[in-house]
Structure 1
Amino acid sequence: MIITGHTVRGAVIDDETRCTHYHSEIDRIAIKFYCCDMYFPCYECHEENGCDNPKVWPKEKFDEKAILCGTCGHELTVSEYLDCKSECPACSAAFNPGCGSHRNLYFES
């Protein structure tokens, strides 16, 4: 699916990146997976439709754009996302703070 000019793969169900796994009002980001350089709404979508070789973003690459706001299309670096306090810095749309519990699936500690 094309969302704000970006291809988002997986079980996407709306134009703000919500998927069949995570679809609350505040589930509105997609993560560019380091292993395949493709956006997915969540790790489960990547497991189902991704590259079969999951790798997390290494710390030395945290300055690269890896998060897509499904509301406005702003791309955040990993560092910006980790520091954003669950809100898009461009449009102030709320992000799901619960995503932090999956941090280890996306980013190096």
Structure 2
Amino acid sequence: MVQAQGLLVDDESRCVHYHSDKDIVALQCYQCKKYYACYQCHNVLEKHTFSPYPLYLRQDKPILCGSCKNTLTYEEYREKGSCPYCVALFNPTCQSHHSYYFK
């Protein structure tokens, strides 16, 4: 089972930086391939800065649902605003951080 890393507050990927009910997405750093609750947690705990995931790698699964622990493609993540496996809602304001996580 894939687990999110970071300065975690709970087991659904919420961290000290983002911890609302809908902050359950962890994202994969392209460089180290680890899933982190947020780029800030990654940058505190790793020796390199978070590397955004290239969107042309359409079959890769750089998103982790903290609720059910399934990994998602970018298209699955963006399609409904919720997890296609467990229907947990994702935070819509995460879109404002898109450039940190995807390129």
Any gaps of 5 or more consecutive residues in structure 1? none
Shift of residue 82 of structure 1?
2.4
Alpha carbon RMSD of aligned pairs, Å?
A: 1.3
Q: Which amino acid aligns with 1:61?
A: L
Considering fraction of residues, name the structure with more strand: 1
In the alignment, what sits opposite 2:72?
76
- Confirm whether residue 88 of structure 1 aligns to residue 83 of structure 2: yes
Which of structure 1's runs of 4+ aligned residues deviate more than 3 A? none
Any gaps of 5 or more consecutive residues in structure 2? none
Count residues with an aligned counterpart.
103
Q: Which amino acid aligns with 2:96?
A: S
Instruction: Using structure 2 for the length normalisation, give the TM-score.
Output: 0.91
Taking every aligned residue pair, what percent have the same amino acid on both sides? 42
**Separation in structure 2 between the aligned mates of residue 13 and residue 26 of structure 1, nearest angstrom:** 13
**Separation in structure 2 between the aligned mates of residue 107 and residue 32 of structure 1, nearest angstrom:** 10
Instruction: Using structure 1 for the length normalisation, give the TM-score.
Output: 0.86
The within-5 A match list for 1:1-109 is 5-83=1-79, 85-108=80-103
Q: Is the 8 A contact 1:35 1:51 kept in 2?
A: no
